[in-house]
């Protein structure tokens, strides 16, 4: 049986500009190419979870425009249940403008559109779906009050919660203590812990501070370096997979969605992180958001090759 995962989050259309480097203020820079790709942190993580083998129920809002129609159609093609994806009349679907340079780094400008209109009423309509899930996955591209309401709904039903607090913003201890798995990058960890994360040593300090704030397990991703994992019982570093980076867009989302599936299937935290790291490593070798998210067969094949080394 496929594990059921509920995802509450955003839907965006990504406008990707491939550039030789990042422009400076006031500069007009000739780009290499342009691509339009389905994205949004919520949708990306839902797609990752679906491609890793979960039955995904997605709660989201889109506008009544062509971008919204295209994004929902893509979700359906990945087998995602979209009965709780609401079309907002008179609103635009979220859009992200992404600059991607030759080094594989990106800068993103986001307009939230219909994502900003997701309400607690939307969560209530999906309440039974969330309560029946093995795990709830949330991010912060939708209103914080709505995310908090979804997490409270999950907690009442004893559903495990994964929170990826991105984009980074200040969060109360009352929210963090309801989170079973907090997945943060260096920027998010620094904001929430007060510790500037620049290496493994500072990652350890930041993760300890986040545990003290109430989150039960901390997964602090460090890009090409790897990640720091902290639980109440132990803490350890996991090195990243070595791959040739083309585009880091959606690598974090791929990690989060894949980790959620592995945990929902009953793996321990270390094994789930290894599985998710394998998925994220494959994602950075391809261009775009959802276009870069791998399928389970490729992830397991890479893990098997690593074990043989």
Binding residues for ATP: 185, 221-226, 252-253
Q: Give dist(CA 253, CA 270) in Å, integer.
A: 18
User: Rounded CA gap, 303 and 174, in Å?
Assistant: 37
Binding site: which residues?
12-14, 40-44, 141, 185, 221-226, 247, 249, 252-253, 283, 286, 288, 292
Query: What residues are annotated to the active site?
Result: 253
Paired tokens of 227:
């990640």
Q: Which two tokens stand for residue 207?
A: 């993760």
Annotated binding site for substrate: 12-14, 40-44, 141, 253
Note the residue count of the chain.
309
Annotated binding site for K(+): 247, 249, 283, 286, 288, 292
Is the Cβ–Cβ distance between 14 and 98 less than 8 Å? yes
**Of residues 294, 278, 276, the one with CA closest to residue 286:** 294
**Which residue bears the tokens 């996955």?**
137
In the sheet with 94-100, reading across from the earlier edge strand, the strands are 33-39, 12-18, 94-100, 106-111
How far is it, in rounded angstroms, from Cα 249 to Cα 52? 18
Q: Is 234 in contact with 228 (CB distance < 8 Å)?
A: no
In angstroms, the CA 213 to CA 269 distance is 20
Taking the C-alpha atoms of residue 247 and residue 254, their distance in angstroms, rounded to an integer, is: 13
Map tokens 């994602």 to a residue: 283
Rounded Cα distance, 33 and 141, in Å? 27
């Amino acid at each position: 049986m496929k594990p059921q995962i509920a995802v509450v989050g955003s839907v965006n259309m990504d406008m990707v500009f491939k550039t030789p480097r990042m422009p400076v203020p006031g500069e007009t820079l000739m780009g290499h190419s342009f691509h339009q790709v389905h994205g949004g942190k919520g949708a990306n993580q839902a797609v990752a979870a679906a491609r890793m083998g979960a039955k995904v129920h997605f709660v989201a809002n889109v506008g009544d425009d062509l971008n919204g129609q295209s994004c929902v159609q893509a979700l359906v093609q990945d087998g995602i249940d979209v009965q709780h994806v609401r079309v907002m009349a008179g609103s635009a679907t979220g859009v992200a403008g992404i600059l991607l340079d030759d080094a594989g780094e990106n800068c993103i400008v986001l307009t939230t559109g219909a994502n900003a209109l997701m309400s607690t009423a939307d969560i209530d309509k999906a309440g039974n779906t969330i309560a029946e899930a093995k795990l709830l996955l949330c991010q912060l591209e939708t209103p914080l009050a709505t995310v908090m309401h979804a997490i409270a709904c999950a907690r009442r039903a004893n559903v495990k919660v994964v929170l990826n607090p991105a984009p980074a913003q200040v969060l109360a201890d009352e929210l963090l203590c309801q989170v079973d798995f907090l997945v943060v990058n260096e920027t998010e960890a620094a904001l929430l812990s007060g510790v500037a994360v620049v290496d493994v040593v500072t990652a350890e300090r930041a993760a300890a501070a986040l545990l003290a704030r109430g989150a039960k397990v901390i997964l602090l991703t460090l890009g090409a370096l790897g990640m720091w994992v902290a639980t109440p019982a132990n803490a350890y570093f996991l090195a990243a997979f070595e791959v040739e980076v083309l585009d880091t867009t959606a690598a974090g989302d791929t990690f989060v969605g894949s980790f959620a599936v592995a945990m929902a299937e009953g793996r321990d935290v270390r094994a789930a992180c290894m599985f998710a790291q394998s998925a994220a490593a494959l994602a950075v070798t391809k261009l775009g958001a959802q276009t870069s998210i791998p399928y389970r067969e490729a992830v397991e094949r890479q893990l098997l090759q690593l074990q043989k080394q």
